[in-house]
Amino acid sequence: MLATNVLETIGHTPLVRLKSFEPEDGAEIWIKLEGGNPTGSYKDRMAISVLGRALERGDVRPGDRIVEYTGGSTGTALAFVASVLGLKFTAVFSDAFSDSKRKAMEAFGAEVLVEGSDGGAITPELIQRMKKRALALAGEPGSYYADQFGSPDVRQGYEPMGQEIAADLDGGIDVLVSAVGTGAALMGMADALRKEGLEPHVIALEPLQSPLLTTGKGGPHRVEGVGVGFEPPFLDRSLLHDIRAIDQDLGFGMCRRLASEVGIFCGGSTGLNVVAAIELAREAGKGKRVVTIGCDNGSKYLGGHIYR
């Protein structure tokens, strides 16, 4: 493709069949590889939606500062889009997340403020501390809170993923499954599929080590970007057919299998997605299709525990 602006390269990612991972007599498993976006993550879709629409409305002007608390993928996407649109970006980050994500944000010109964690664990207390710091910064003059957990522009930004899935599979989708952080990606895809007249079973996932959605009690875990310790603000339970908790260690092991067996290089949330997709393919049976998401590129996690 030809592009006049790097932002035009966001989206239109491939949908790949995981045939070798499909259970005998089970459904087809398809994974949408979002690691091909400019920053290696589907968060690029959210960032262009939030910042582009904020500029269109006049909520921000070139030179203003965008603020968000982030585990890194959202922050890297916001830093990338902000750099192209002439905006500044400050991320409230933590040492609980991969240091390569901090470096990526800084490469795009972001200011990164690091909150300390308890031994590298992602906990509800840490997330709330990061949020409090970000909100304080966003209240300063010339600053704008990206609000990844509240802006309607976030959920709308993920609708193109659903549109692309519907087009690629010609409407043939029976189950849509994904781990959730804000819940916006899963719900945005489901929104788009419904607009196309499709009603797949929609399944949300969380780490077994922090089963807030399934048991009401969160906990420390190591799957970056999901299991945020509170109810995902965009998650519409009335549209869900199930919520499942997947062991993070199975997810990390799946990441290593995907890379070494089929060349798909990904992070922990994608590992959870594929573990669950295999379960659901077994349950759905032959002739059905299960679709999940390869959320980002594994290069973001080389400084962490998954690929050691």
Residue 101 designated active-site: no
From the list 101, 117, 269, 300, the catalytic residue is 269
Are 54 and 26 in contact by the 8 Å Cβ rule? The answer is no
Closest of 11, 41, 38 to residue 297, by C-alpha: 41
Give percent of the chain above pLDDT 90: 89
Torsion of CA 60, 62, 65, 71, to 10 degrees: 90
User: Residue by residue, what is the 3-state secondary structure of 125-181?
Assistant: HHHHHHHHHHHHHHCCCCEEECCCCCCHHHHHHCHHHHHHHHHHCCCCCCEEEEECC
Closest of 134, 100, 129, 107 to residue 116, by C-alpha: 129
What is the arithmetic mean of pLDDT over 249-277? 98
Task: Inform me whether the pLDDT recorded for 171 exceeds 90.
Answer: no
Residues in a beta bridge with 15: 32
Residue 269 designated active-site: yes
Closest of 9, 13, 149 to residue 71, by C-alpha: 149
Pairing of strands 201-207, 242-246: parallel
**Euclidean distance between the first and final Cα of the chain, in Å?**
36
pLDDT at 7: 96
What is the arithmetic mean of pLDDT over 140-155? 96
Task: Inform me whether the pLDDT recorded for 213 exceeds 90.
Answer: yes
From the list 32, 41, 43, 73, the catalytic residue is 43
Q: In this predicted model, which residue has the larger pLDDT, 61 or 228? A: 61
Least confident of 46-50, 108-112, 189-193, 216-220: 216-220
Torsion of CA 195, 213, 282, 198, to 10 degrees: -10
Q: What angle do CA 242, 297, 195 make, to 5 degrees?
A: 45
Are 67 and 40 in contact by the 8 Å Cβ rule? The answer is no
Handedness of CA 190, 194, 196, 197 (dihedral sign): positive
Task: Inform me whether the pLDDT recorded for 229 exceeds 90.
Answer: no
Are 283 and 244 in contact by the 8 Å Cβ rule? The answer is no
